[in-house]
Amino acid sequence: MLNGIDSNILINLPAGAVSGEKYRVANAGFIGKNGTRGDLLLNIKIMMPKRVNELERELLIKLRDISEYNPRKNWHLHNYLL
């Protein structure tokens, strides 16, 4: 749920959305001089809690252990060296 300009908007982000991606919600932006509503632009920012309780920690560890996702799979150090 997102606080829109004049109402709440339900946004369904696709699985795998990552920080820095941009999405457009048609006809949810400001009303322009010509009377039509513009688009609302979203910039995704994934935020993690600074502290977790013991149960949350255990669940995150379980997720790590069962997940096949490897965020470093295609990351190569030489791509970032000058």
Domain of residue 31, residue span: 2-73
In a domain, 81, yes or no: no
Tokens of 69: 């996702």
CB 25 within 8 A of CB 11: yes
> For the segment 33-82, what is each residue's pLDDT rounded down to a tens digit?
999 999 999 999 988 889 999 999 999 999 989 988 877 777 666 555 54
The per-residue pLDDT for 55 is 96
Instruction: Give the count of domains, the chain.
Output: 1
pLDDT digits (tens, 9 = 90+) for 13-30: 888 888 999 999 998 889
The answer to whether position 69 is within a domain reads yes
pLDDT at residue 53, rounded to an integer: 95
Helices (DSSP H) in 9-80: which residue ranges?
54-66
Please report, for residues 64, 68, 69, the alpha-carbon distance to residue 58 in angstroms, rounded to integers and kept in the order given. Answer: 10, 18, 18
- What is the pLDDT, as a whole number, of residue 79? 57
* Domain assignment present for 21: yes
48: closest CA among 12, 72, 19?
A: 19
11 found inside a domain: yes
Question: What average pLDDT does this structure show over 5-16?
Answer: 85
Please identify which residue in the block is written with the tokens 């252990």.
65
What residue has token string 């369904």?
A: 12
